[in-house]
Amino acid sequence: MGIAEFYLGFKKPFQYVYAGESNIDIFKIIEGNLTRTKRVENLNILDLNGYNFLDIKRELSGVETGIILNSRNFIFNIFEFDKLPINEIRRRDIIEWRLGKVFPENIDQYKHDYFRLNKKKVLSILFKKSFKDEIENLFEKNNIRLIYIGNSTIEIFNNLSKRKISSDFFIEIDDKLAVLFFQSNSIPFYIRKFEIEKASDLIREILKTIHFVRENHSKELHSYSIVSDISDVDSSQIRDKLSTENIKEINISNKNNLFLPK
């Protein structure tokens, strides 16, 4: 990442494709707000091909476009080091060496990015290169200028961090995929994603994870937020269970499309 990118950020596209678990949504800027203009149901990004992409292409304007993928195909790791080298190459080497200890596959097949969270902690994100190439080729073939490939969980974290009151963790639910993202003083310290078959699985996994975090990270958890499509989750059950753990919900409006860059 260059200095300009680090300090000034990336150019925001005028329209976004959100690739969820079972739907693909298209968002456009209408009257200054990102508004969903189309939903293609029962379509996963992995199933996209020249044929079914036409439906999406018809909706997209010939402007710069971004795609936000849910965390299904991303691998997150948070590493802690006593000391990180200042030199970028040496720093990457030491992080990838550490990653190699916990990640069984060949790292070269993945696009690996890392972000320094503080002096000691690093967030590492892996994304399969072949998948990235497939997406870029698909958009390129359809003459759509793709300038942004992002991740929904990271965008939610960025958007929630801007708020005055932020929760100790958020639960991102997209159909059968759930991500629990724990943070302390806006610094992520634990991320877990898991598959859910039924609502009881979700609550059970959330509670297990909360206990794990309390025991292994010695963090007090007092608040949480849920980021999901209303149809995906019955938040009342989660609220009831977590209230017994003395964890209160900080309600956030899911109309704000928190999974998109702002």
Q: Using CB under 8 A as the criterion, which residues of the chain lie in contact with other proteins when the complex forms?
A: 1, 4-12, 64, 66, 111, 113, 115, 117-118, 123, 125, 127, 132, 136, 145-151, 154, 157-158, 161, 185-187
Smaller CB separation from other proteins, 148 or 212: 148
Supply 139's token pair. Answer: 């958009």
The DSSP secondary-structure symbol of 56 reads: H
Of 11 and 90, which has the nearer Cβ to other proteins? Answer: 11
For residues 51 and 119, is the Cβ–Cβ distance under 8 A?
A: no
Give the single-character DSSP code of 230: G
In angstroms, the CA 23 to CA 29 distance is 20
Per-residue DSSP letter, 37: E
Min separation Cβ 4 and other proteins, Å: 5
CB of 32 to other proteins, least distance (A): 15
DSSP class of residue 11 equals P
**In whole angstroms, what is the distance from residue 169 CA to residue 37 CA?**
30
Given the complex with other proteins, which of 120 and 208 has the nearer CB atom? 120
Q: State how far the Cα of 186 lies from the Cα of 224, in Å rounded to an integer.
A: 13
CA dist 186 and 167 (Å) reads: 9
Q: How far is the CB of 9 from other proteins (least distance, A)?
A: 5
Minimum distance from residue 195 beta carbon to other proteins (Å)? 23
- Shortest distance (Å) from residue 11 CB to other proteins: 4
Q: Which is nearer to other proteins, 105 or 240 (CB)?
A: 105
Between 115 and 205, CB nearer to other proteins: 115
